[in-house]
Structure 1
Amino acid sequence: MSPRLLLAALVFTLAACNTVYYAAWEKLGYEKRDLLKSAVKAARGEQKEAGEEFQDALTQLQKLTGYSGGNLESAYNRFKGEYEDCEAQATAVRDEIREVDTVARDLFREWEREIRQYESASLATDSRRKLADTRSRFEQLSNSLHAAESTMEPVLRQFRDQVLYLKHNLNAAAVGSLRGKADNIQGDIQRLLAQMNRSIAEADRFIQTL
């Protein structure tokens, strides 16, 4: 099968899966609008958890780089565990944002298609206006979600560097050399938390108007 035909088959299969997925929810009384609201709430929740995980990882790094005796390996393992939790939570945030984007896209396509089914011109006009308003509000939300998402990777890269460095240099001197790094990461985390909070607030506003 040619790459073009293979891609077409894949797109058709995914579309069919989505159709079955939405049909199953509709039988339970949930329309795409309900699913979008649920997806936004889930993304909001994952972002809140991500902010907490990143803060916890920074706390463990600060404890580690402030080492003044005790079990160095245990302190490293706690920091490494928090970093791994951050990685997992960042993946959860990305997945939920993708879900939000997918459901919104499908909702808007359905809405546009169904506007053409109106017999009443006035109702069609009103529905078209509401679609434009909802799409505009969603655009603001989506931009905020993706901006928050983009703040995670720079912090993860820095945490990853610390974990890899200490994995092969776990001694008091190496830990001490990273002391200033924690302060730099703290600034990035503050920016991350600020953007997360803006995104969460935007999600709240969107949910209230949906």
Structure 2
Amino acid sequence: MTDIDSRQSNSASSLRHSGAIRVAVLITAVFILVVGCQTTYYALWEKVGKEKRHLLKDNVEQVGEEQAEASEQFATVVERIKAMYGFDGGELEDVYEKLSQDYRACEERADAVRDRIDNVERIAADLFKEWESEIGSIENVKLKSKSRASLQDTRSRFARLQRSMRGAESSMDPVLNNLRDYVLYLKHNLNAQAVSSLRKEVADIETEVSALIQDMNRSIKEADAFVKTL
């Protein structure tokens, strides 16, 4: 093996080792976050160069991703419901089973959005608390004032994001409730006549899902704007 080959091999090995460390830290950090030890969670991420600001940015981006995936899943449910018209007998049973699965997927997506927003709020609160404390240790009056102004501005922008996220989250509940009622009714009355009798309910669900997706999109845009200025 030449010296160049040796260096390339060592470099590749180093990258793999670094990647393995990051994966191990991620897995451990997620576990710690779940069991609730925030201090250790942050300390682990700091070992790979991620401060609270970086974690907040990452999680805000992930909220947007979770919301986009939830929007797609809710839209899929609406299309599945509309697909039930024109089917009968065994075919209707098959479509219903897929609809039931899609509804459960909506619940899972909604839970993922809620959990991610909770995580964002927790990290933001810890970041602002740390920031406030560190401002107190700055002796230069001008720098202290600028840092405090920056903190206040970030808090204000986060408050807007928080309202948008929680607003979109709250929009999911009535949609999920109506979808659950619809799915349960069909479970007990799975026939073409029952499906046909629910056209008004389907129209209402479609309208609610459309409004929910708009709320999600506004929240995603708010998240993108926040991340760009963080």
TM over 0.5: yes
- How far has the Cα of 1:16 moved from its partner? 7.8
Structure 2 partner of 1:128: 148
CA distance, structure 2, for counterparts of residue 17 and residue 87 of structure 1: 27
Moved over 2 A (4+): 67-70
CA distance, structure 2, for counterparts of residue 19 and residue 117 of structure 1: 21
SS at match of 2:37: helix
Structure 1 partner of 2:216: 196
* 1:146 to 2:146 alignment: no
SS at match of 2:223: helix
* 1:32 to 2:52 alignment: yes
Match of 1:69 among 88, 97, 104: 88
Distance 1:56 1:26, change over 3 A: same
Alignment RMSD (CA, Å):
1.5
* 1:155 to 2:175 alignment: yes
State the structure with more CA Rg: 2
Match of 2:136 among 116, 125, 146: 116
Opposite residue 100 of structure 2, the aligned amino acid is K
Q: Deviations over 1:92-135 (max 9, x none)?
A: 00000001100000000000011011111111111000000000
* 1:89 to 2:113 alignment: no
- Asked if 2 retains the 8 angstrom alpha-carbon contact of 1:67 and 1:175, the reply is no
Opposite residue 176 of structure 1, the aligned amino acid is S
> Which 5+ residue runs of structure 1 have no aligned equivalent?
1-13
Q: Deviations over 1:76-103 (max 9, x none)?
A: 1111111111000000000000011000
CA distance, structure 2, for counterparts of residue 16 and residue 194 of structure 1: 33
CA distance, structure 2, for counterparts of residue 107 and residue 34 of structure 1: 10
* TM-score computed with the length of structure 1 as normaliser: 0.90
CA distance, structure 1, for counterparts of residue 135 and residue 64 of structure 2: 30
- Asked if 1 retains the 8 angstrom alpha-carbon contact of 2:175 and 2:209, the reply is yes
> Which 5+ residue runs of structure 2 have no aligned equivalent?
1-33
- Asked if 1 retains the 8 angstrom alpha-carbon contact of 2:186 and 2:195, the reply is yes
